[in-house]
Structure 1
C-alpha cells in the first residue's frame, strides 16, 4: 500500500503575511486560497519541484504558531539556494557542513524552522551508490 505525504499544516498568526513570505521570499507557488467561513481559511502553497505542499490558514491546526521545528526539504545546491533566499530578503544561515549533507536553515515570520539539505554525493537520493561517506 502506497502512502504519500502531500500536505503539512504550518501554524501561523497572520495568514497574509505568511503567504507573502512563502510566495514572494521563499518562492513557493500559491495553489489555493479559499475562505470557507469566518473561522476557516485554507491556503495551499507548494515548494518548487515538490510533491508535498504546506497549508497555512485559519482553523486548520491546533499547533501553536512557530511550533514546527525542522521541516526539511532537499535541494540540489545549498550555496545556490542560500544565495537566492538571502537575495529575496530571507534571513538564512550560512551553509552548515555535516557528513550527512550540507544544510541551510531559516525561519518563517512566526518562527517555524526549516532546513534545506543538499544530500552528500554518496547518498542514493543525490544519485550516489549509498556506500560509506569515506
Structure 2
C-alpha cells in the first residue's frame, strides 16, 4: 500500500496576500480558492509536485502560528535558474550554498511574507527524469504548466 504525502498546511495571516505570493511570485498553481461565510481555504501546488500546500481559516490551520513552519523543501533541476526566477518575481532568496559537490548538495532558501521558510535543493536528475512524468501532470481536470 502506498502512503503519499499530498497536502501540507502552511499557517499564514492574510490569505489573499499569501495566495498572491505563492501563485504570482513563487509560481505555484492555484488549484482552488474556496470561500464561504464560515471559512476561506486555498490549495496551491508547485509545478511538477504531487504535494500541495493548503492555507486557510479552518480550525486545523489555526492551530499553528503564522510563520511557524520552517524548512519545507522544494527540489529543482537547476538552483541558479530557480533562484533567478524567484528574484525576478520579487522574492528575496538567500545565496546558493554548495554543501556537497555531488548532486543534491546545493541549496538556497526563501521565506513567505509571514516567515514560513523554504529550502530549495538542486537535484539535476529531476530535469531528465521528473518524479511525475510530464504526460501525467493533471490535477482537478486541468493540465499544469510544464
Q: TM-score range by the shorter chain?
A: 0.7 to 0.9
Partner of 1:132: none
Q: Tell me, which stretches of 5 or more residues in structure 2 are unaligned?
A: 129-146
Distance 2:107 2:124 in 1: 11
Distance 1:32 1:86 in 2: 26
Q: What is the aligned-residue RMSD (CA, Å)?
A: 1.7
Q: How far off is 1:120 after superposition?
A: 7.0
Distance 1:91 1:120 in 2: 23
Q: Secondary structure of 1:32's partner?
A: strand
In the alignment, structure 1 residue 76 sits paired with structure 2 residue 77? yes
Distance 2:11 2:95 in 1: 26
Q: Tell me, which stretches of 5 or more residues in structure 1 are unaligned?
A: 128-134
Q: Is the 8 A contact 2:93 2:109 kept in 1?
A: yes
TM-score, length-normalised on structure 1?
A: 0.86
Q: Is the 8 A contact 1:36 1:42 kept in 2?
A: no
Partner of 2:31: 31
Query: Residues 49-81 of structure 1: CA distance to partner in whole angstroms, max 9, x if unpaired?
Result: 101000011124211100000000110000000
Runs of 4+ in structure 1 deviating by more than 4 angstroms, as ranges, are none
Matched pairs, number:
123
TM-score, length-normalised on structure 2?
A: 0.79
Q: How far off is 1:126 after superposition?
A: 8.1
Task: Select the structure that is richer in helix.
Answer: 2
Distance 1:126 1:96 in 2: 20
